[in-house]
Structure 1
Amino acid sequence: MKIAFYGSSILSTYWNGAATYYRGLIRALSELGHDITFFEPDVYDRQKHRDLESFDWCKVVIYDGNVHALRSVAAMAARADVVIKASGVGYEDDLLLSEIMKAARPDALKIFWDVDAPATLAEMQSDADHPLRRTLPRLDLVLTYGGGDPVVGAYRALGASACIPIYNALDPIDHHPVLPEPRFEADLAFLGNRLPDREERVDRFFLYPAAQNQDLKFLLGGAGWEDKAMSSNVRYIGHVPATDHNAFNATPKAVLNISRSDMARTGFSPATRVFEAAGARACLITDYWEGIERFLKPGEEVLVARDGKDVADLIGELTPERAEQIGKRALARVIAEHTYAHRAVLVDSIFRNYFDAFKGAMA
């Protein structure tokens, strides 16, 4: 099938955590025979910070951040069997959705793919005239990268005909064990951009434990933390390109996942970092959220903390031997059950079921 996918960026992870998700899913769908074109706007300096250049599993169309260019690429939706508009594209999202819907063929499968369901739902629930809310009944399907039953129910209540979570996963081609690198040495490392709805949780789950464990080394990666107050045992290294994520995860004794506050409240929302870390055979400590056991077994494949004191206690007691065992078990679990190849099989079946039903209705 020909798929037109409109998203933030597949070429750059710069201020764009969804790139890992897009890459894993689209590559896996391509391996199932789909012909995919990804459309991304040239905004937020992402094209200056590319970390993906050479690949043959997807065509990419980059368009300027202006209305004329947007309308030109939206018109290309007419060529596709499956038309996907993702959340958070980053330039005139509402106009892009409207133009794509105008261009898409009547027989095309029209999908909104939400990579930040809690935020998107909050916007629509507070605005009865929200453009996406008005468009939902005309879409065939909503896919989300997390959220479970609460998100499915909320989307159905707002008019979506169907909503199916397609969870984050591991792409073992990109994320895998590597040798440690001295530049990432630490007892506990955290990688995440500074965002308003994450910062308070970073204070509690990372910076507080660091202050309580002055004899341990903590490593902070991600954009935006330059002026953040932190204890002297925290080393800040700025943006970490995707090409360095394996070493960043494989080197420290443990790595930390901190969900954004709305993701933690919603539950069933494993971040890409969870699978990246497991793929690198890292010992992962994650903040608690409902549904974690669906992906990794607490205490055996992942360590779970409900607050900063838990993190301080866990990292203070963690031996290298136990960390290694947890990392090995996590890698085995995600390889067996949670790769993008697994997710792509589900997505492919969703596509094929739609077209089978459409052909049956037309017969």
Structure 2
Amino acid sequence: MKLVVLGLSLSSSWGNGHATTYRALLSAFAARGHDILFLERNVPWYASQRDLEAPDYCRLDFYADLPALEDWRGEIAAADAVIVGSYVPDGVAVGQYVQRHARSVTAFYDIDTPVTLAALRAGHCDYLSAELIAGYDLYCSFTGGPTLTLLEDRYGSPLARALYCSVDTDMYRPADVPKRWDLSYLGTYSADRQPTLERLLIEPARLLPGKRFVVAGPQYPEDIDWPANVERIDHLPPKDHPAFYSASRYTLNVTRADMIEAGWSPSVRLFEAAACGTPIISDIWPGLDALLAPNREILFADKPEQIILWLHEDRARIGDAAQARIHAEHSAATRAAQLEAHLNEAAAMRTQDRIAAAE
């Protein structure tokens, strides 16, 4: 299969979770024998923070603006499938261009489905419209559950399928490093996640001055009052994630409000931490218990007292069980096989539609 992907970023993981998602998925997709071209808008904030210049599993090229897509018109037209990702700059215009010129399957890969749907309801989504949803042959969603029915019934998607994030289990695995922190958190600052981070990490840190905590990720405001036992790391490149998780007795998973409301919306950090065998303490939302078994593969908390309880116990077996589950169901190899199946299903539907139209 010849696949063209127009995504937010493959070259830079700075301030986004898209790059690591694409890297794991496309590397595994290429290992299945497919040819991939990734087209990325050349924007200064990623250009100055690139941590992947030349992937060995796909071609990575950049375009300066919408008119520059004409340089890739032939590739888009000849591809067996073209995927446009969420948060692509001028994504509505990019999607219209792809739907106008692609001759085979077109798909939208939504790494931010609840955020996307909230923006559509509010009438200000810059990268997707209801008309585009109906025009894409396939909608691959980071969110499963009832959201898939909503995409088909309300927005007219011909085919909506869950394509959760995944993890490269060759890269993300336990590292032989000493434990530095009792509880860690890795994530870019988000205003709607911050109250949970305050409740489940910062407050426990204040109550447990003898324990060690760390928050890694960019864009945190300068006025946050970090306790003395909370270490800050501004940016942690993906190559350092396994050692970071492995140095943590526990790690915290905090979910955005839109994703909690939608449910069935695991973040890539959840799978990466589990693949490293680190016990995860998570906030609570519908569908999470279908991905990792509560109290066996993951721990839940909504109060600082629960965090304090876990930090006084050794629950390493939780991490071991989660790692086994990730390898069995959420590896990049598994997700690449699912993507291939979804694209083939969309292609079969296109063929059926053409036959029906000709009769």
TM-score under structure 1 normalisation?
A: 0.91
Change (3 A) 1:8 1:313: same
What is the distance in 2 between the residues matched to 1:140 and 1:67?
22
Q: Alpha-carbon deviation of 1:361?
A: 5.2
Contact kept, 8 Å, 1:74 with 1:99, in 2: the verdict is no
Aligned to 2:77: 78
Aligned to 1:100: 98
Matches within 5 A, 1:48-67: 48-64=48-64, 66-67=65-66
Unaligned runs of 5+ in 1: none
Matches within 5 A, 1:145-224: 145-180=142-177, 185-224=180-219
Aligned to 1:336: 328
Q: Alpha-carbon deviation of 1:75?
A: 6.0
Q: Alpha-carbon deviation of 1:355?
A: 2.8
Change (3 A) 1:74 1:144: farther
Change (3 A) 1:33 1:205: same
Count residues in correspondence. Answer: 353
Percent identity over the alignment is: 30
Contact kept, 8 Å, 2:116 with 2:125, in 1: the verdict is no
Aligned to 1:252: 248
Aligned to 1:4: 4
What is the distance in 2 between the residues matched to 1:101 and 1:356?
18
Aligned to 1:233: 229
CA RMSD of aligned residues (A): 2.1
Aligned to 2:132: 135
Matches within 5 A, 1:308-319: 308-315=304-311, 317-319=312-314
What is the distance in 2 between the residues matched to 1:285 and 1:118?
22
Change (3 A) 1:282 1:96: same
Q: Alpha-carbon deviation of 1:308?
A: 3.3
Contact kept, 8 Å, 2:278 with 2:319, in 1: the verdict is yes
Deviations 1:273-330 (A, max 9, x none): 1111111111111111111122211111111112333223322x222xx2x2111111
Deviations 1:202-231 (A, max 9, x none): 222221222222221111100022612111
Q: Alpha-carbon deviation of 1:12?
A: 1.4
Secondary structure at the aligned position of 2:76 is classed as helix
Contact kept, 8 Å, 1:221 with 1:240, in 2: the verdict is yes
| Segment drifting more, 47-56 vs 228-237 | 47-56
Q: Alpha-carbon deviation of 1:35?
A: 1.1
Aligned to 1:29: 29
Unaligned runs of 5+ in 2: none
Deviations 1:238-294 (A, max 9, x none): 111111000000011111111111112211111101111111111111111111122
Deviations 1:85-122 (A, max 9, x none): 11112x222221122222212xx111111111111111
| Segment drifting more, 42-51 vs 70-79 | 70-79
What is the distance in 1 between the residues matched to 2:244 and 2:125?
44
Q: Alpha-carbon deviation of 1:357?
A: 4.2
Q: Alpha-carbon deviation of 1:139?
A: 1.6
2:341 is aligned with 1:349: yes
Contact kept, 8 Å, 1:201 with 1:260, in 2: the verdict is no
Deviations 1:163-188 (A, max 9, x none): 11111222112211111157xx1110
What is the distance in 1 between the residues matched to 2:257 and 2:325?
26
Q: Alpha-carbon deviation of 1:162?
A: 1.9
2:18 is aligned with 1:18: yes
